[in-house]
Amino acid sequence: MADAITYLVANHNQARYVGDCLASLRGQTDDRWRAVVLDDGSTDDSVDVIARCLDDRVLLVRHTTNRGYIAALRRLIDEAPTDVVAIVDADDALTPDATARLLDAWAAHPDAALVYSRFAACDETLTRTHAVHGSALPPGGWSLWHATVGHVLSFRRTAYRRTAGLDDAMLYAEDRDLVYKLEELAPPVFVDAVLYRYREVPGSQSRDPAKRRIGAANARRARLAALARRGVGGRRRLLWTTAFLADYVAATSPRARVRAAATRVLHALGRWLAPDR
């Protein structure tokens, strides 16, 4: 059972948004939360903004130089005072009932390694702009095929320590890699509610084609590593590898006809990969 949750907030030059993020934590309807905020060598006014939000539940730690998002997450996990933690990006926000809903799920599934929810894409003012994302995996399904596991992403540090941990090589796909590792310990638990507001801003991964390409390539690498850990080989590995390549082309090609063809290949492969899903 989880008695409390710690939110992990990695910040680098997000002075414009990090105040909203921390305000969403302070606005939780359930007070069983803590937060560790790591400023990763910001050169803007981030530290001043964060300092105004500090209290006995919010701890600020700092890197004097920018070490990168994955290094920041790794330290945040180490600094957390509770076993259950959740990642909240500094430019995003939680809904007021996030803590209550997450802790209810952890109480109902004490052996889980990972609990996640739906999230809403928002504009710079945190107004919802697109459809809600996230859904439950089918019974026995893998998130390798069903890309439904996302924000808000919460997990046990004790489970995390049983994996190889965060991989510095998985830039822009570190969350996918972490989900694949954690789901190998226990089936992910889904909270059927929007608990996270994902802010789409200029320069973010969702808006930057170069970052999307890097993320898609690293996600494919994370999937292949997961197949190796799970002992999937031979013909099925070839099918999975082809599916990952089709998924990458469907996500990154600038040509609509190429994207459409790759999507058709991906769907056709689905029936062959059904036993692994």
Q: Is the pLDDT reported for residue 173 higher than 90?
A: yes
Closest CA to 7 of 155, 211, 198: 155
pLDDT at 274 over 90: no
Q: Which comes out higher in pLDDT, residue 230 or 40?
A: 40
Of the pLDDT bands very low, low, confident and very high (cuts 50, 70, 90), residue 234 is confident
Higher pLDDT, 154 or 204: 154
**pLDDT above 70 (res 78):** yes
Helix ranges (H only) for 52-156 are: 69-79, 98-108
Confidence of residue 163 (pLDDT cuts 50, 70, 90): very high
More reliable by pLDDT, 84 or 252: 84
Q: 95-142 pLDDT, tens per residue?
A: 999 999 999 999 999 999 999 999 999 999 999 987 799 999 888 778
Class of domain 5-199: alpha beta
Question: And the tokens for 245?
Answer: 């390549």
pLDDT of residue 93: 98
At residue 204, the pLDDT reads 64
Which residue is associated with the tokens 């796909």? 173
pTM comes to 0.88
In contact, 128 and 121? CB cutoff 8 Å: yes
pLDDT at 131: 79
Position with higher pLDDT, 216 vs 151:
151
CA distance 144 to 244: 9
Mean pLDDT of 192-198: 97
Residues 240 and 227: beta-carbon distance below 8 Å: yes
Share of residues in the chain with pLDDT > 70 (%): 93
